[in-house]
Structure 1
């Protein structure tokens, strides 16, 4: 039951984030490191990937085998790959919408990124720790 609730929460989070990447890319572009090529296209693709991952998490294995598993791996890798943007945002104090965030925002955000990676892996059925194997 806990895994199901966590799966839905993460799917909703990534669905909202994906739509935000597509509808309002300016803030995401601001924090994207300069070394990322084709930043606008990358932001669009990341939004699509978030939405696809969210949908993939909600497809039961009995309907399409391995999609949830692949979505878990994909979202974990996604969370790992966007970590440099979060670091860039924090270290360079980049304003979004004219406002800068303080370390009360950045520190938990940076610390929570590994949790997002674990969360995607656990709800995708890639790993089980600390839960028992998923029966759904």
Structure 2
């Protein structure tokens, strides 16, 4: 799937941000990510730490894949969009439980952050050409009818 230079720049930027966030999961922001794990999941510290580590490794892999696996960028964009949906409950949990992390120390800041998740999903899909791919898939499926 051909993408524009602007899309490529934003794809690489998102990949870099994902890689840095993943590193943060494993190191300097680990405590903050732990408080975002939804409270409806098991609450023992080993499980919470596993969730943070697993999501961090996933973010690093997706970030690096966005940057370097250009041939698979559409699939990676789709996977990243799904990943952003899957981690959204952590953001909701942070809001509903009033948990301070990442400078989000008021209910208003935590609420505003919730509206950025759809932006990240669209960013992943747009910058990789996945939106165009999905539109073409939809169009081609109607041709068979």
Determine if the TM-score, normalized by the shorter chain, exceeds 0.5.
yes
Higher helix fraction: Structure 1 or Structure 2? 2
| Superposed CA RMSD | 2.1
Q: Does 1:70 align with 2:75?
A: yes
> Rg: which structure is higher?
2
**1:31 aligned residue:** 36
Check whether the contact 1:57–1:123 (CA below 8 A) recurs between aligned residues.
Answer: no
**1:41 aligned residue:** 50
Query: Which structure is higher in RCO with an 8 Å CA cutoff and minimum separation 6?
Result: 2
Structure 2, unmatched stretches of 5+, are 134-145
Equivalences, count: 124
Match of 1:90 among 91, 95, 110: 95
**2:125 aligned residue:** 121
Check whether the contact 2:7–2:128 (CA below 8 A) recurs between aligned residues.
Answer: no
After TM superposition, the runs of 4+ consecutive aligned structure 1 residues lying more than 4 A away are none
For the structure 1 residues 100 and 112, does the alpha-carbon distance in structure 2 shift closer, same or farther, using more than 3 Å as the test? closer
Check whether the contact 1:18–1:49 (CA below 8 A) recurs between aligned residues.
Answer: yes
**1:55 aligned residue:** 64
Q: TM-score, normalised by structure 2?
A: 0.75
For the structure 1 residues 108 and 95, does the alpha-carbon distance in structure 2 shift closer, same or farther, using more than 3 Å as the test? closer
Check whether the contact 2:98–2:107 (CA below 8 A) recurs between aligned residues.
Answer: no
